[in-house]
Amino acid sequence: MIDLFSGLDAWVLVSLLLALAFVLAYEFINGFHDTANAVATVIYTKAMPPHLAVFFSGVFNFLGVLLGGVGVAYAIVHLLPVELLINVNTGHGLAMVFSLLAAAIAWNLGTWYFGIPASSSHTLIGSILGVGLANALLNDIPLGDGVNWQKAIDIGASLVFSPMAGFLIAALVLIGLKWWRPISKMHKTPEQRRKIDDKKHPPFWNRLVLVISAMAVSFVHGSNDGQKGIGLIMLVLIGIVPAQFVLDLNSTTYQIERTRDATLHLSQFYERNHDSLGEFLALGKSVKDDLPGKFRCNPQQTEPTISALLSSLNGVADYHSLSPESRIEVRRYLLCLDDTAKKVGKLPDLAAREKADLDKLRKDLTATTEYAPFWVILAVALALGLGTMIGWKRVVLTIGEKIGKQGMTYAQGMSAQITAAGLIGLANIFSLPVSTTHVLSSGVAGTMVANKSGLQGGTVKTILLAWVLTLPATVALSAGLFWAASKVLGT
C-alpha cells in the first residue's frame, strides 16, 4: 500500500491522509447511527448483553463489508461523473472531497447528539449532490451534467420506498405472529416479562430469533452502508491521486485480456445490431470529435473510442506499464463505453436476449475499474465497528421506547429485524444503497401500529423532519463549503 503513495508532494500526501481520516471519521459516526440500529432491538429486549451485542455486530459488519462486493460502493461513486473527478486538478479535488465530508460529518454529529435516527445514506448522497451542483455552477457546466441524475433518481427511489416497505412488511409479519400464536410470551415487553414472569431475558426461541436476525441486520448493514464508506474512499483516491487508482493496478494479465476481449465483443455486438443502433451510435460515420471529452460521453463517439481503447491496451499485460496519463485515458474510455452500453440497453428496439448479452459485456468491461483495495475494506470495517461500540446508547433508547407509546415487545423486535435484514439484503443484490436507520425505525413504527400500541407523535415528527430536511440541508451545506473552498484555493 505504501508504495502507491510514494513520489507524491508533501502537501498532497498530507491532504490525502486528512481526507482519508475524514472518511473514516464519517464511517465512525455512521456507527453511532446506522450500526447502532442493528443492535438496538436485541439490546433493548435484553436478548444479548450490550457488550456482546456490539462485539458480534462488529464481527458481522466486518464480514458484510468483506463479502459484500463493491456494487453499492460504485453506485455512490457514479453519482458524479467520474471523468470530472479524474480531470480536475488536485486542489479542486481536495475542495470537493473535504466539502462533502465536512457537510456529512456535521449533519450526522448534530442528529446523533439529539438522539435522532437520521439517515447517514441521505446525508452522504445530499453532500455529493451539493458538491456536484456547485462544481457545475463554478465551471459553467450544465447542471444536467454535474450529477448523474439517472443514478440519483434510482438511489432516491430506493431511499424513499424502502422505509415504506419496511413499515408495511413489518406490520404484516407481526399480524401474522399474533394470528399464529396470539397468547405467546413473545407478545410481552421486557418490562412485562420481568414483572409477570420474573424473567430478565426473552423466551429461548424468541431470544434465538432476535439474536440471529440482529446479526443478519449487522451483516447486510456492513455490505450496504459499509460500501458507502468504500465508495467515499475511492472517490478520495481517484480525485486526489488518480494515476494510482483510476485502474486496478493489481489486475492480472487475464483480467486485462478480458477487458480487451469485452471491448472487441462490444464492437461486434454493435455491428451485429447495426440496423437498430446505427443511427444512435453513428456507426460508420465521421463525427465532430474523435474521442470523449473530459466532462461528458457522447454515444456517437463509440467507434473511435473503441479503437482508441484497443490501441491503448494493445500488448499491455500489466497496467503498471502504462503511463499515468494513459491510465486516466483508458479509464475514461472504459467509463464512456459502459455509459453508452447502458443507454443502448434501454432502447426499445433491442431484443431481450441482446440486452442480457450487453449486461454481461458491461461487467467484463468495468472489471478493472470498479474495485477496492483490501486495506480500504478493512479500514472501513474497523471504523464502523468502533463507532458502534462507543455511540449506540442514544439510538437504542429512541428505537426501543420513544417511537411507540408502549415499549417494544419481543415479537415486534423480531418482525422489525427480519424485515430490515430482508429488505437491505434485497437492496444489496440490486446494488442500491438504502438507509438501515429508516428501514428499521419504520419497521418498528409499523409494528407499533399493528400492535395498536400507538406512536409517539413528537418522536415520529422529529424523525420525519430529519428525513425531509437531511437532503436539502446537506446539499446546501456541502455546496456552500465547496464554493468557499474553491474561492480560497483559487480552483
* DSSP per-residue letters across 280-335: HHTTTS--S-SS--SS---GGGHHHHHHHHHHHHTT-S-GGGS-HHHHHHHHHHHH
List the Cα angle 318/231/467 in 5-degree steps.
Answer: 170
Tell me if residue 406 falls in helix, strand or coil.
Answer: coil
DSSP 461-481: HHHHHHHHHHHHHHHHHHHHH
CB-CB contact of 302 with 281 (8 Å): yes
Helix pair 90-113, 120-138: axis angle to 10 deg: 150
Place of cell 449486461: 359
**Which pLDDT band, with edges at 50, 70 and 90, does 267 fall under?**
very high
Here the cell at position 34 is 446506522
The model's pLDDT over 96-151, given as tens digits with 9 standing for 90+, comes to 778 888 898 888 788 777 766 567 778 888 888 898 888 888 777 777 777 777 77
pLDDT reported for residue 463: 67
CB-CB contact of 461 with 109 (8 Å): no
Gap between the terminal Cα atoms of the chain: 29
Q: Which domains does the chain have, with CATH numbers?
A: 11-245+374-489 (no CATH), 253-366 (1.20.1440)
Burial class (CB within 10 angstroms; exposed 0-12, middle 13-18, buried 19+) of 342: middle
Q: Is the pLDDT of residue 161 over 60?
A: yes
Question: In this structure, what are the phi and psi dihedrals at residue 392, rounded to the nearest 5 degrees?
Answer: -80, -20
**Which pLDDT band, with edges at 50, 70 and 90, does 404 fall under?**
very low
Q: Is the pLDDT of residue 484 over 80?
A: yes
Q: Could you tell me which residue, 292 or 336, shows the higher pLDDT?
A: 336
Place of cell 407478545: 187
| Rounded mean pLDDT, 236-241 | 82
Mean pLDDT (the chain) is: 82
Burial class (CB within 10 angstroms; exposed 0-12, middle 13-18, buried 19+) of 388: buried
Containing 352, the helix (H) or strand (E) segment is helix 352-365
> How many whole angstroms separate alpha carbon 129 and alpha carbon 148?
9
Question: In this structure, what are the phi and psi dihedrals at residue 47, rounded to the nearest 5 degrees?
Answer: -70, -30
CB-CB contact of 407 with 190 (8 Å): yes
CB-CB contact of 285 with 317 (8 Å): no
Q: Could you tell me which residue, 457 or 413, shows the higher pLDDT?
A: 413
Q: Which residues pair with 404 in a beta bridge?
A: 455
Q: What is the pTM of this model?
A: 0.81
CB-CB contact of 228 with 435 (8 Å): no
Q: Could you tell me which residue, 267 or 403, shows the higher pLDDT?
A: 267
DSSP 203-233: -HHHHHHHHHHHHHHHHHHHHHHHHHHHHHH
Helix pair 410-429, 36-44: axis angle to 10 deg: 160
The model's pLDDT over 418-468, given as tens digits with 9 standing for 90+, comes to 999 999 999 988 888 888 877 888 888 888 888 876 666 666 676 677 667
Question: In this structure, what are the phi and psi dihedrals at residue 68, rounded to the nearest 5 degrees?
Answer: -85, -5
Amino acid letter, 347 = L
Q: Which residues pair with 455 in a beta bridge?
A: 404
> How many whole angstroms separate alpha carbon 33 and alpha carbon 65?
17
Q: Is the pLDDT of residue 485 over 60?
A: yes
- Percent pLDDT > 70 in the chain is 84
Which range is least confidently modeled, 126-140, 228-242, 300-314, 401-415? Answer: 401-415
> How many whole angstroms separate alpha carbon 286 and alpha carbon 300?
9
DSSP 333-349: HHHHHHHHHHHHHT-TT
